[in-house]
Amino acid sequence: MPQVLGIDISTTATKAVLVDETGAVRAIGITEYGFEVPHPLWSEQAPQLWWDATIAAVRQVLASPGVTADEVVAVGLTGQMHGAVLLDAADEVLRPAILWNDQRTSAECELIREVVGRERLIAVTGNDALTGFTAPKLVWVREREPDVWRRIAHVLLPKDYVRLRLTGDHAVDKADGAGTLLFDLARRDWSPEVVAALDIDPRWLPRSWEGPQVTGSLLGAAAEATGLRPGTPVVAGGGDQSANAVGVGVVSPGSMALSLGTSGVVFAATAEPLFEPLGRVHAFCHAVPERWHMMSVMLSAAGSLRWFRDAVAPAASYTDLVEPAGEIPPGSDGLVFLPYLTGERSPHADPLARGAFVGLTLAHDRRHLTRAVLEGVAFGLRDGLDLMLAAGTPRPAQVRVSGGGTASRVWRQILADVLEVEIATVSTSEGAAYGAALLAAVGGGNWYAGVEEACAALVTATPSAEPGTSAALYREAHAIYRDLYPALKPTFDGALAAPGRGSGR
């Protein structure tokens, strides 16, 4: 049976997922690795890790019972967005890749706003300058590492370094390209205006492709390393969030997804390029041709629950922790949790924001604190959703959810009540890697005429929670939650500026 392979190069592991023509996952391979923090706020990774992990993960898949390389008809790529991989003219890596979660570029973000103009930057790229994006990283290298800057011949994103090793081609998909802060959102390609303003040589930037388009085929050396068949087509794929949206079937305008992992993402597919005037949510190209998306990102979603479990009840399972919270009334008897444990991105682009419990009394127990964490994360997601709706995204009838946090019945109901929308689970659970496989099925396997047709055939959504009578109460509680960040921001800033504060010690 013909099969397609989706490869996801994430921050901590590379996953390979083999999918057959029925949409079933036939095999999975995963290889983990770490990243380096050589200085405070820095986050770097050696690109060779991704290639070694890709080889290992693909070979795990091909070693699965009943799987042969001859059955793999196409490969799709996805992975962590916003990184900066710098290569010389011989495609040798010039320095460790600077990752999406690197925070060193605050000064460079201000410089970009000054040079381009903040309003113009948002109008062209759909986004404000944030430390996570690729462009500030390049400006940092220009200002701080001139020897490296002079030797740059190619700039790639993480998954596209793996593409280079697979096919020998310098290429990027339009969804990942839009996450660099160097793309013209409406034109779906590099912005000559922004590129020139930042003194970046346009020859460094790879050709951009739509997600299902074939960018090249497997080289003999790559085939020998991975075990795949030489000449196997490789499609452009997508950044991890757009590929995940394909994996859960959010490809048509008006559809929406919610990913509840360590971070929390609300993702809306749109028919045209929309952006929030202040850049408080992201606007990118979708991995689907002639589609765009808006996306809000909160940094500590299920990560907030993990922190709470580890700090308060490390021996408890998540089920034992969360299920009793269902006994507590909505609103947690006046207790509110701010989930800004690692700063925040949407709606407050503030690395100094911090978490807080507000309203504690002697009447509160662990169940109240747990429910407050679940509700606080839901309120943060509602903040992002409201900004997206105000920017023109249609209010959806249903939100398709994925990620470990959505396994909880209690949390799904809280999300339905707070977001005031039906929550649905999907038939797939492999996220971005599955979406990359579907893009390969369309462009390389020619199984379907388009991505929407593929998703309609292979992805099923099942309603699992609907807004209940608590929705009105949560509207009032959310208003209280919204007032807390501006009230506490001076405290956050002052505490973190004091000697010895804010370090976690």
* C-alpha neighbours within 13 Å on the C-beta side of residue 447: 28
On whether residue 447 sits in a domain, the answer given is no
Q: Coil, strand or helix: which one is 341?
A: strand
- 286: domain CATH number? 3.30.420.40
On whether residue 454 sits in a domain, the answer given is no
On whether residue 309 sits in a domain, the answer given is yes
38 CB-contact burial (10 Å; exposed 0-12 / middle 13-18 / buried 19+)? exposed
What pLDDT score does 464 carry?
92
State yes or no: pLDDT of 333 exceeds 80.
Answer: yes
Record the pTM: 0.91
Q: Which of 110-119, 313-322, 487-496 has the lowest mean pLDDT?
A: 487-496
* % of the chain at pLDDT higher than 90: 89
Residue finishing a domain among 216, 242, 268? 242
Statement to judge: residues 143 and 279 lie in one domain: no
Distance of alpha carbon 373 from alpha carbon 328, whole angstroms: 12
Statement to judge: residues 97 and 141 lie in one domain: yes
Residue finishing a domain among 219, 242, 265? 242
Statement to judge: residues 60 and 194 lie in one domain: yes
Stretch (H or E) spanning 352? none
Beta strand ranges found along 222-380 (DSSP E): 233-235, 238-239, 256-260, 264-270, 282-285, 292-298, 336-338, 356-358
Statement to judge: residues 197 and 125 lie in one domain: yes
Structural domain including 312 reads 249-427+468-498
State yes or no: pLDDT of 64 exceeds 90.
Answer: yes
On whether residue 448 sits in a domain, the answer given is no
Q: What is the pLDDT of residues 428-448, one digit of tens each?
A: 888 899 999 999 999 998 999
Statement to judge: residues 210 and 320 lie in one domain: no
Distance of alpha carbon 357 from alpha carbon 336, whole angstroms: 6
Which of 58, 417, 420, 440 lies closest to 235, judged by CA? 440
What pLDDT score does 147 carry?
97
**Residue 107: partners with Cβ closer than 8 Å, 6 or more residues away:** none
State the pairing for strand pair 44-45/171-173: unpaired
What pLDDT score does 496 carry?
60
Residue finishing a domain among 242, 268, 302? 242
What pLDDT score does 1 carry?
85
What pLDDT score does 405 carry?
85
Q: Per the residue annotation, which of 128, 240, 383, 417 is the catalytic one?
A: 240
Statement to judge: residues 93 and 208 lie in one domain: yes
Vertex 491: Cα angle to 488 and 495 (nearest 5): 145
> How many other CB atoms sit within 10 Å of the CB of residue 58?
26
Statement to judge: residues 107 and 21 lie in one domain: yes
On whether residue 115 sits in a domain, the answer given is yes
What pLDDT score does 503 carry?
45
What pLDDT score does 505 carry?
35
What pLDDT score does 145 carry?
98
What pLDDT score does 96 carry?
98
Statement to judge: residues 208 and 161 lie in one domain: yes
Q: What is the pLDDT of residues 342-359, one digit of tens each?
A: 889 899 988 889 999 999
State yes or no: pLDDT of 504 exceeds 80.
Answer: no
Statement to judge: residues 200 and 321 lie in one domain: no
Statement to judge: residues 376 and 485 lie in one domain: yes
* C-alpha neighbours within 13 Å on the C-beta side of residue 144: 11
In this structure, are residues 156 and 164 in contact, taking their beta carbons and an 8 Å threshold?
yes
Active site residue 88: no
Question: In this structure, what are the phi and psi dihedrals at residue 483, rounded to the nearest 5 degrees?
Answer: -75, -15
Statement to judge: residues 371 and 284 lie in one domain: yes
Number of independent structural domains in the chain: 2
Which of 125, 215, 231, 226 lies closest to 178, judged by CA? 125
Distances (CA, A) of 504 to 68, 496, 500: 49, 10, 9
Stretch (H or E) spanning 332? none
Statement to judge: residues 282 and 326 lie in one domain: yes
Q: Which of 17-26, 214-223, 347-356 has the lowest mean pLDDT?
A: 347-356
On whether residue 213 sits in a domain, the answer given is yes
On whether residue 446 sits in a domain, the answer given is no
In this structure, are residues 73 and 65 in contact, taking their beta carbons and an 8 Å threshold?
no
Mean pLDDT for the stretch of residues 313-317: 94
Which of 250, 232, 159, 286 lies closest to 5, judged by CA? 232
pLDDT band for position 502 (cuts 50, 70, 90): very low
H-only helix segments in 190-264: 192-197, 220-226, 240-247
State yes or no: pLDDT of 461 exceeds 70.
Answer: yes
State yes or no: pLDDT of 310 exceeds 70.
Answer: yes
On whether residue 329 sits in a domain, the answer given is yes
Q: What is the pLDDT of residues 157-207, one digit of tens each?
A: 999 999 999 999 999 999 999 999 999 999 999 999 999 999 999 999 999
Q: What is the pLDDT of residues 222-263, one digit of tens each?
A: 999 999 999 999 999 999 999 999 999 999 999 999 998 888
For 309-331, b where at least 16 C-beta lie within 10 A, e where not — what string? beeeeeeeebeebbebbbebebb
Amino acid letter for position 78? T
Distance of alpha carbon 287 from alpha carbon 246, whole angstroms: 8
Q: Coil, strand or helix: which one is 275?
A: coil
Stretch (H or E) spanning 92? none
State yes or no: pLDDT of 284 exceeds 90.
Answer: yes
> Could you write out the DSSP letters of every residue in 388-411?
HHHTTPPPPSEEEEESGGGG-HHH
